[in-house]
A and B are shown apart, each in its own frame.
Chain A
Amino acid sequence: EDKVVQSPLSLVVHEGDTVTLNCSYEVTNFRSLLWYKQEKKAPTFLFMLTSSGIEKKSGRLSSILDKKELFSILNITATQTGDSAVYLCAVEGSAGNMLTFGGGTRLMVKP
């Protein structure tokens, strides 16, 4: 059975800080790992990672995948209050096209 574990469960930082969110996984026949941001509504797509060692970047957010050690990290630099959300990590494996999600990391950025 596919499994995703995220850490930390929650995190409180101040504006301007840099944060690193962790995601480890066990999956049969890995296809991809995805990061989503969830505020009060829909999870919003951030990144899809399929290859090890290639950093994906979007503004202040970046992510990288290590398929040997079975983990990914999401970095947010110069955090802003608008970054406050739950960040979800999910993997797609051979069980089908479905995603298996971790429990999320709740990030709070204080002014």
Chain B
Amino acid sequence: GAGVSQSPRYKVAKRGQDVALRCDPISGHVSLFWYQQALGQGPEFLTYFQNEAQLDKSGLPSDRFFAERPEGSVSTLKIQRTQQEDSAVYLCASSLVGGGFSNQPQHFGDGTRLSIL
């Protein structure tokens, strides 16, 4: 597609429910990133994929957070047993190449605004 596409745009869930957020990167982009953005703050890194391989998950805040990209294109971020502190905008980004000094910027989707009641 023309840009990074994320769905849903908004998600409201009750505390304790599981949620799944989808990211469809720009066609042909090797690298895919997930970030969490709290209100009034800059995005914070969660996890990184190069094709289907999850190369870095150091930013995932707990084992309730899980991400996958099984075929190297679409990715899903799953949050189990949601808590109120999970409320944030979840941004997905993709870039053309992966690894090393790529000199390629990350391009972001519009994000999913998650609200936990």
CB distance B44 to A101 under 8 Å?
yes
Q: Mark B37-56, 1 if CB is under 8 A from A, else 0.
A: 00011111100101000011
Contact of B107 among A4, A41, A45, A101 (CB under 8 A): A45
CA distance A36 to B105 in the complex (A): 10
List B contacts of A44 (CB < 8 A): 108
CB distance A98 to B48 under 8 Å?
yes
CB distance A103 to B42 under 8 Å?
yes
Check: A59 CB closer than 8 A to any chain B CB.
no
List A contacts of B50 (CB < 8 A): 97
CB distance A102 to B101 under 8 Å?
no
Interface residues of chain A: helix, strand, loop or mixed (majority): strand
Check: B79 CB closer than 8 A to any chain A CB.
no
> CB within 8 Å of B: which of A60-111?
88, 90, 96-104
CB distance B110 to A42 under 8 Å?
yes
Q: Please judge, given known A-B contacts A32-B103, A96-B56, A98-B59, whether A42 and B45 are in contact too, CB under 8 Å.
A: no
CB distance A98 to B56 under 8 Å?
yes
Q: Mark B43-81, 1 if CB is under 8 A from A, else 0.
A: 111001010000110110000000000000000000000
A34 — nearest CB in chain B belongs to which residue?
Answer: B105
List B contacts of A48 (CB < 8 A): 103, 105
Check: A57 CB closer than 8 A to any chain B CB.
no
CA distance A96 to B43 in the complex (A): 16
Check: B31 CB closer than 8 A to any chain A CB.
yes
Q: Please judge, given known A-B contacts A96-B55, A98-B33, whether A41 and B105 are in contact too, CB under 8 Å.
A: no
CB distance from A94 to the nearest CB of B (A): 10
